[in-house]
Amino acid sequence: MATLTPEAALRALLIADVTYNAIVDGRVWPRSDVPQGQSRPYATQFRVSRSGDHNLLAASGLPMVRVQWEHWSIDYDETRTMGSAAREALDGFRGTVTSGADSLAVALIKLDDESSVFDIDVPGRNRKISGLRQDYMIHFTETIPTF
């Protein structure tokens, strides 16, 4: 069975959320892959870190990945609505996430941090865009190799 990455699992959960996807309309990319000139609102994500959990003998099979999610819009209130919808859909989630033939058994998704960010839409035009950055910790199960 193929496995879903934690980043892809978050995306699948948010695209499936009616409130969130009504705003972004599927416009969610890795931070480095946003199409040039993309209209807003949209969201970006990237993996910040991964840490493994161990017991006294070996890896426990319950790693944790931190994924940073950024919601972007011209409108401050819309950005906040995106963040609230994401928080309601993700924070405290437990279960299996499936996308196509891939799946991931999620032990817990936890919102760890949230902050406002701002950027300039087009250099020289000084039109600010509003952002909300959220860091999610995804605890999931993985197969541990046996030696």
- The structural domain count of the chain equals 1
Q: Is the pLDDT of residue 2 over 70?
A: no
Q: Is 80 helix (H, G, I), strand (E, B) or coil?
A: helix
Report yes or no on 121 lying in a domain.
Answer: yes
Residue 138: other Cβ atoms inside 10 A: 25
Q: How far apart are the first and last CA of the chain?
A: 21
14-39 confidence digits (pLDDT tens): 999 999 999 999 988 888 887 777 77
Going by pLDDT thresholds of 50, 70 and 90, the confidence category of residue 146 is low
Report yes or no on 147 lying in a domain.
Answer: no
Q: Is the pLDDT of residue 57 over 80?
A: no
CATH number at residue 80: 3.30.2000
Report yes or no on 1 lying in a domain.
Answer: no
Q: Is the pLDDT of residue 127 over 70?
A: no
The whole domain housing 84 covers: 6-32+40-140
pTM of the model: 0.84
